[in-house]
Structure 1
Amino acid sequence: MSEFESYGVTAGIWSGRLLADNAPARIRLFHLAAPVAEAQVLSDGPGAWKVEVAIPPHCLSDGMQSLILMSDDGQDEALSPSARHLATLTLVAGAPLDTDLRAEIDLIRAELDLLKREFRRYAAART
């Protein structure tokens, strides 16, 4: 069992607190499906670990960028089968593309319409 609480980004360092029985062997930051940095993990009390990772400057550019924090027990470049997703950080810099935001809103609306339709169908079947 593990749970990551993000403290946000300060001076280019993403920090947070990981609640887990044991410290993970490795926590890495991924951008565009490639590892870009390795996090520093320090004890923060029983069952808690302070996690800090520097966001590389090449990951910052105009638009939306998604950074993913993953833990695993592997030693090589590839993620091990036991890899776990801890958190996702979305950064918006410069002028975000209006079409990207509109597409996301349209997708959310479509999903909400689907949920409403299925809920109404379910409710009608129960009466």
Structure 2
Amino acid sequence: MPQFESFGLKGGVWRGRLTDSKGAPARIVLVQHGEVLAEARMTETGASEWQVEVELPSQVMAEGIQTLLLKTDDGEHGTETTPGGHQLGRLTLMAGRMLDDDLTAEIAALRAELELVKRELRRLATRDTAV
């Protein structure tokens, strides 16, 4: 099974290392919402090892949270993904004003859960000391 080690995103290019004892896949694609956005470049760096680079297209730079998947694929260049590929990595991009609202809502939900846990711990502590 292929293994991908992500080196992160810099200058709009996602880089990493792919190792697979079975050999290089036909192609590696960047996918969002089931649509192929770009194809990665693979450069052999050793036995069963490749450097992978994929440029993020400008359309993924938008407000809110964007999730991109890097997948192996047996399809031809320029075609949609085929079933049976492996997901190598996931990249989440967050930007814009919507992010403030998303994070505020997430923090509020975490605070509510924390209050629930505190209340239950206090209830259990008072019940154990009363016995």
Q: With structure 1 as the length reference, what TM-score do the two structures score?
A: 0.74
Equivalent residue runs for 1:1-127 within 5 Å: 1-21=1-21, 22-75=23-76, 77-101=79-103, 102=105, 106=109
Aligned-pair Cα RMSD in Å: 2.3
**AA paired with 1:88?**
R
Q: How far apart, in 2, do the equivalents of 1:105 and 1:26 lie?
A: 42
SS at match of 2:84: coil
TM-superposition CA deviations, 1:89-119 (whole Å, max 9, x none): 0011123445534359859x6xxx9xxxxxx
Q: Supply the distance in 2 between the matched residues of 1:67 and 1:38 (Cα, whole angstroms).
A: 13
SS, match of residue 58 in structure 1: helix
Give me the whole-angstrom Cα distance separating, in 2, the residues matched to 1:32 and 1:56. Answer: 14
1: distance between equivalents of 2:107 and 2:70?
Answer: 22
Letter matched to residue 77 of structure 1: T
Distance 1:19 1:11 in 2: 24
Residue identity (%): 40
Unaligned runs of 5+ in 2: 118-131
Contact 2:36 2:81 in 1 (8 A): no
Q: Distance in 2 between matches of 1:104 and 1:49?
A: 40
Q: Distance in 2 between matches of 1:89 and 1:104?
A: 22
Aligned residues: 109
Distance change (3 Å), C-alpha of 1:39 and 1:104: farther
Larger of the two Rg values belongs to structure = 2
Q: TM-score, normalised by structure 2?
A: 0.72
Deviations 1:75-96 (A, max 9, x none): 2623223211111100111234
